[in-house]
A and B are shown apart, each in its own frame.
Chain A
Amino acid sequence: MLLELSEEHKEHLAFLPQVDSAGKLNVSSDTVQHGVEGLTYLLTESSKLMISELDFQDSVFVLGFSEELNKLLLQLYLDNRKEIRTILSELAPSLPSYHNLEWRLDVQLASRSLRQQIKPAVTIKLHLNQNGDHNTKVLQTDPATLLHLVQQLEQALEEMKTNHCRRVVRNIK
């Protein structure tokens, strides 16, 4: 599979051959930034798609670089693609996932504006994990809504037991 490089990408990468070995760059910072971005894009896309050596070489060929530079880029790709893939997998957007739920029954007995109350509430501490970070949300609900929540979520569990869901889970791996 060949990597498709847009005209813009090719332009950004065109600056690479101009970098002399001493490392001193005599160009604008924008050009340098674009060059770095272009290189990053080239490497991450190649790593993401796990393109073969040959495909990588062919993809880079269209940039018209020297044999030496092409070899350098290939080596860079091969040396770093495993690590790049590890980093990419950690970046995948994900929903926070459930970790734990703590609950507490509260009854409000009075407030500044009204004395002698009996106002039940369920206070919930929801523990979630996202990308290794643990965060908690403190929420509250009333008894009627709590029963509604249980009923709704039990329906979700019931749905999992239907033939339809069982078939999908069994057959798609």
Chain B
Amino acid sequence: MELSESVQKGFQMLADPRSFDSNAFTLLLRAAFQSLLDAQADEAVLDHPDLKHIDPVVLKHCHAAAATYILEAGKHRADKSTLSTYLEDCKFDRERIELFCTEYQNNKNSLEILLGSIGRSLPHITDVSWRLEYQIKNTDSPSYPEISFSCSMEQLQDLVGKLKDASKSLERATQL
């Protein structure tokens, strides 16, 4: 995990009980996770009365540092020992390390789901609808927005057969 000086400085400030008392530390930590994971989170996440006494520049810096670190840790699937090592280097006391790791553990699943959902993929099939039609004569067919195609009985059996092969292979693969 590559972390910038800015992140390290932010964490060093977070470690200092003179800048962040216990309560403020917890609040900022939760705010960082919230900003990342809560779809409805807004900029007011740092507007807590118990954080008002802290210089807003410092507040923003530490919030950004925490958020950056959380994302990097999530991306690389960092374990507790990796987290502890880094936080110790930033002069976190035992209590704060424990607090951070607990918050991280609580949010780990949501974080991984979020990160896993970022990326490009092929058009993804979500459903299928079918219609049995006995064609007597050619008539105008309306145009469909999705992918539509026609097939005969034999062709449908072929299609279903192939999809079943795929799902059998899938089943076998999951048993390996």
State the A residues within 8 Å of B (CB): 92-98, 100-103, 105, 111-117, 119-124, 126, 128, 137-143, 145-150, 152-157, 159-160, 165, 168-169, 172
Query: Does A153 contact B148, Cβ atoms closer than 8 Å?
Result: no
Scan residues 43-92 of chain B and give those whose CB is less than 8 A from a CB of chain A.
74-77
Query: Does A156 contact B132, Cβ atoms closer than 8 Å?
Result: yes
Q: In the complex, what residues of A have CB within 8 A of residue B148's CB?
A: 95-96
Given contacts A98-B159, A140-B122, A153-B160, 7 further A-B contacts (CB under 8 A): A105-B166, A115-B76, A120-B173, A124-B166, A148-B128, A156-B130, A165-B134
Q: In the complex, what residues of B have CB within 8 A of residue A94's CB?
A: 138, 141, 150
A137, A138, A153, A159 interface centre (most CB from chain B within 10 Å): A153
A49, B153: Cα distance in complex, Å:
31
A153, B159: Cα distance in complex, Å:
9
Asked if B140 lies at the interface with its beta carbon under 8 angstroms from chain A, I say yes
Which residue of chain A is the closest to B171 with respect to CB atoms?
A: A143
Which residue of chain A is the closest to B155 with respect to CB atoms?
A: A98
Q: In the complex, what residues of B have CB within 8 A of residue A152's CB?
A: 128-130
Q: Number of residue pairs across A and B with beta carbons under 8 Å?
A: 137
Query: Does B157 contact A157, Cβ atoms closer than 8 Å?
Result: yes
A92, B134: Cα distance in complex, Å:
17
Minimum distance in angstroms from B42 CB to a CB of chain A: 23
Query: Does A98 contact B150, Cβ atoms closer than 8 Å?
Result: yes
Q: List 8 A-B contacts (CB under 8 A).
A: A114-B74, A120-B174, A128-B149, A139-B124, A141-B124, A145-B125, A153-B159, A153-B160
Query: Does A113 contact B163, Cβ atoms closer than 8 Å?
Result: no
Q: In the complex, what residues of B have CB within 8 A of residue A93's CB?
A: 140-141
- Known pairs A96-B148, A105-B173, A172-B134; A119 contacts B163 (CB<8 A): no
The 3 A-B residue pairs with the shortest CB-CB distance in the complex, in nearest-first order: A98-B151, A114-B115, A140-B122
Q: In the complex, what residues of A have CB within 8 A of residue B75's CB?
A: 113-115
A141, B119: Cα distance in complex, Å:
15
Q: In the complex, what residues of A have CB within 8 A of residue B160's CB?
A: 150, 153-154, 157
Q: In the complex, what residues of B have CB within 8 A of residue A95's CB?
A: 141, 148-150
